């Protein structure tokens, strides 16, 4: 190859790089940045005072409280489950292991609407356990338990999916070392296994929280949209939007947007620590 | 007094037999090397002694007590892993203290013992560092101190120096030998490096295809290999394929008396056991050779020779001051020749060189 050819090629490569960058940036702007800016722009279009009034409106506060309640109930359940499932899959070979791995991914691949309907089918008034629950005056669908169940289902794999690759990369030598040093399995777990995966667990918890606060589809099916009772933040946004309170809708939506941005920042910070633990 | 007694231990991973009816005694206070190529069973045996991979059949006794089915934590053995397996979130101090912390020993005792061990491994002043802030050699010493903290009766080391560079490795070897002589703890270590085994150990156990091929002092196994595998594995060997007929081994026009049955046989001749002479000696068999190449790798000089009859390759170790002209003809006089009949399957240690990952089988 002559020097001329080399220069020509490098020029072509540079041109290709510029074009690709431009396309990527334009697409990203159209799909992500412009909508994001639009949310914040709409939220603050009548000033910070209007924004504050919208998010401290009594119905908005009820929705916020309900969303937080759902997150507080869901996250610990899925954290414990996620750690147990990831550890089981990473450290043991047992019949049904690959089935467990497949089932773990199911909530990610099933449409959230279907996930919600499943619980209506099980616990609704005409569902399998509906009459039994009705006899005992236990309300699951159109109430907090239903919303928590649907959210737990949706966020089931998130903690496990973050821990599993880390556990597999780390291998079991540290855990075996703890056993040879006289640790009981519990001591091994609390003193070695859990500290080794702590950053991945934390990131899984943040992801689960963000999703628990933001889940719309499945929750929409089981909640019944009872205003001031079973409307979570995303449902509240929808109601406001449907009633043409655009500024208020975007103000509440801006909270959910901030949760998303926070999750991304957390990812940047935690990923380095997770990589270092491998 | 025997520290570890292994009786007829067999361990399989799927279709692969890692240990095939192995029996072995480790006397108290000895430093024993398990030596062999990858996949020969040495690490599996070490893990069986530690209780990490219990054997399928057979018995393991520790100071007379049957520990075959005992869990790892109840065995009181120290184990040093190949890649150290230090706890990255704990300081040097807490890593070493781990065995005492899980036994809920009083803080004063923990401090006293850790201080003692830190002095032993010469890392005073680094107690608060994390493992990531230490060099490879320092990490290995922390791993040793951690394994010694609960005063185990047996210390097991899995390829303890293989993850370190050559200079650090040599220093640590001498240090480990000194440490063993001071503490008197029974040590069993796994290695694939014969130089390491010979330099460190009181006795060497050579593994081949899941069995003990030979055991003895380093000098014994080196001087008197009992099988073609051992003669070949303890490297730097020329292999001369020949024939035994009527009590004579024939190769390249020369004969050596042998008590072997008639048939094909192979002679093993160490590079260092080849004397070179200008004239054939009167009372010893010698081979007429031509020098084809002389190469030097620093302290060692080796000559590549071809026998004039049969054109067999011979490598001879030369003293550094000796110069040889390529193309010159002279006589190679074997100082010592180990001849083994070519039993089928005997010379196949090359087949087991592929590393076997245990993880796939667990």
pLDDT for residue B344: 59
Residue contact A180–B72, C-beta within 8 A: yes
In contact, B188 and B49? CB cutoff 8 Å: yes
pLDDT for residue A1: 54
CB-CB neighbors (< 8 A) of B86 in chain A: 174, 177
Q: What is the pLDDT of residues B126-152, one digit of tens each?
A: 999 999 999 999 999 999 999 999 999
pLDDT for residue A268: 87
Give me the residues of chain A with pLDDT under 50, please.
none
User: Which secondary-structure segment (H or E) carries A23?
Assistant: helix A3-28
User: Which secondary-structure segment (H or E) carries B158?
Assistant: strand B154-158
Q: What is the pLDDT of residues B26-44, one digit of tens each?
A: 999 999 999 998 889 999 9
pLDDT above 90 (res B73): no
Q: What tokens does B288 get? A: 């007429």
pLDDT for residue B80: 94
pLDDT for residue B359: 27
Residue contact B87–A181, C-beta within 8 A: no
CB-CB neighbors (< 8 A) of B83 in chain A: 173
CA angle B40, B43, B48 (to 5 degrees): 115
pLDDT for residue A2: 62
pLDDT for residue A264: 87
Whole-prediction pTM value? 0.81
In contact, B28 and B3? CB cutoff 8 Å: yes
User: Which secondary-structure segment (H or E) carries B326?
Assistant: none
pLDDT for residue B228: 87
Beta-carbon contacts below 8 Å between A and B: 70
User: Which secondary-structure segment (H or E) carries B341?
Assistant: strand B338-341
| Residue A179 near chain B (CB below 8 Å) | yes
Q: What is the pLDDT of residues B14-29, one digit of tens each?
A: 889 999 999 999 999 9
pLDDT for residue B12: 92
pLDDT above 80 (res B166): yes
B249 or B297: whose pLDDT is higher? B249
In contact, B47 and B55? CB cutoff 8 Å: no
pLDDT above 50 (res B350): no
- pLDDT confidence bin for B349, thresholds 50/70/90: very low
| Site of tokens 């192979």 | B266
Mean pLDDT of the B274-281 span: 87
CB-CB neighbors (< 8 A) of A189 in chain B: none
Closest chain B CA to residue A179: B73
Q: What is the pLDDT of residues A12-46, one digit of tens each?
A: 788 888 999 999 999 999 988 898 888 889 899 88
Positive or negative CA dihedral for B149, B150, B151, B154?
negative
pLDDT for residue B347: 41
List, as one string, the DSSP characters of B114-129: HHHHHHHTT-TT-TT-
Residue contact B99–A181, C-beta within 8 A: yes
pLDDT above 50 (res B261): yes
- In 3D space, the residue among B107, B163, B116, B118 whose CA is nearest the CA of residue B141 turns out to be B118
């Amino acid at each position: 190859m002559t020097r001329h050819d080399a220069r020509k090629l490098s020029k072509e490569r540079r041109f290709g790089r510029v074009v690709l960058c431009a396309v990527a940036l334009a697409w990203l702007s159209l799909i992500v940045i412009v909508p994001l800016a639009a949310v914040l722009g709409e939220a603050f279009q009548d000033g910070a005072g209007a924004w504050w009034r919208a998010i401290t409106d009594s119905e908005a506060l009820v929705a916020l409280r309900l969303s937080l309640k759902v997150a507080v109930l869901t996250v610990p359940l899925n954290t414990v489950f996620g750690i147990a499932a990831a550890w089981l899959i990473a450290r043991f070979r047992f019949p049904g292991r690959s089935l467990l791995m497949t089932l773990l991914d199911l909530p990610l691949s099933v449409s959230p609407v279907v996930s919600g309907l499943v619980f209506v089918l099980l616990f609704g008034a005409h569902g399998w356990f509906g009459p039994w629950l009705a006899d005992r005056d236990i309300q699951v669908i159109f109430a907090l338990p239903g919303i928590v169940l649907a959210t737990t289902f949706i966020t089931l794999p998130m903690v496990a999916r973050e821990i599993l690759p880390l556990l597999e990369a780390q291998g079991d030598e540290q855990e075996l070392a703890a056993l040879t040093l006289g640790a009981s399995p519990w001591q091994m777990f609390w003193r070695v296994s859990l500290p080794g995966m702590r950053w991945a667990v934390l990131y899984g918890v943040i992801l689960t929280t963000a999703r628990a606060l933001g889940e719309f589809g499945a929750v929409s099916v089981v909640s019944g949209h009872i205003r001031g009772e079973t409307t979570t933040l995303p449902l509240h946004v929808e109601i406001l939007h449907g009633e043409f309170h655009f500024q208020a809708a975007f103000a509440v939506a801006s909270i959910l947007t901030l949760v998303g941005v926070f999750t991304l920042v957390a990812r940047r910070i935690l990923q380095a620590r997770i990589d270092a633990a491998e | 007094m025997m520290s570890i007694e292994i009786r007829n231990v067999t361990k399989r991973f799927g279709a692969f037999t890692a240990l095939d009816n192995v029996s072995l005694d480790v006397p108290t206070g000895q430093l024993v090397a398990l030596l062999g190529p990858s996949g020969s069973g040495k690490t599996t045996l070490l893990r069986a002694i530690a209780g990490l991979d219990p054997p399928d059949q057979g018995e393991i006794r520790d100071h007379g007590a049957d520990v075959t089915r005992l869990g790892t934590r109840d065995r009181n053995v120290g184990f040093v892993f190949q890649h150290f397996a230090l706890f990255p979130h704990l300081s040097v101090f807490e890593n070493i203290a781990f065995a005492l912390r899980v036994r809920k020993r009083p803080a004063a005792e923990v401090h006293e013992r850790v201080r003692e061990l830190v002095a032993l491994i010469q890392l005073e002043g680094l107690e608060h560092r994390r493992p990531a802030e230490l060099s490879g050699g320092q990490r290995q010493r922390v791993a040793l101190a951690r394994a010694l903290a609960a005063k185990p009766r047996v210390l097991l080391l899995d390829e303890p120096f293989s993850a370190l560079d050559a200079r650090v490795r040599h220093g640590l070897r001498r240090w480990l030998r000194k440490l063993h002589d001071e503490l008197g703890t029974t040590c069993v270590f796994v290695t694939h490096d014969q130089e390491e085994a010979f330099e460190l150990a009181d006795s060497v156990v050579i593994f081949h295809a899941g069995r003990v091929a030979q055991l003895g002092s380093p000098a014994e196994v080196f001087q008197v290999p009992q099988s073609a595998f051992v003669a070949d594995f303890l490297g730097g060997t020329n292999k001369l394929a020949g024939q035994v007929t009527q009590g004579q081994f024939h190769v390249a026009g020369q004969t050596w008396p042998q008590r072997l049955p008639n048939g094909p046989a192979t002679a093993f001749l160490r590079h260092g056991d080849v004397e070179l002479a200008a004239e054939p000696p009167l009372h010893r068999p010698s081979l007429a050779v031509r020098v084809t190449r002389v190469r030097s790798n620093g302290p060692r000089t080796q000559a590549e020779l071809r026998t004039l009859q049969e054109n067999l390759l011979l490598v001879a170790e030369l003293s550094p001051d000796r110069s040889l002209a390529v193309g010159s003809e002279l006589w190679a006089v074997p100082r010592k020749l180990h001849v083994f009949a070519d039993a089928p399957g005997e010379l196949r240690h090359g087949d087991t060189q592929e590393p076997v990952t245990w993880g796939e089988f667990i």
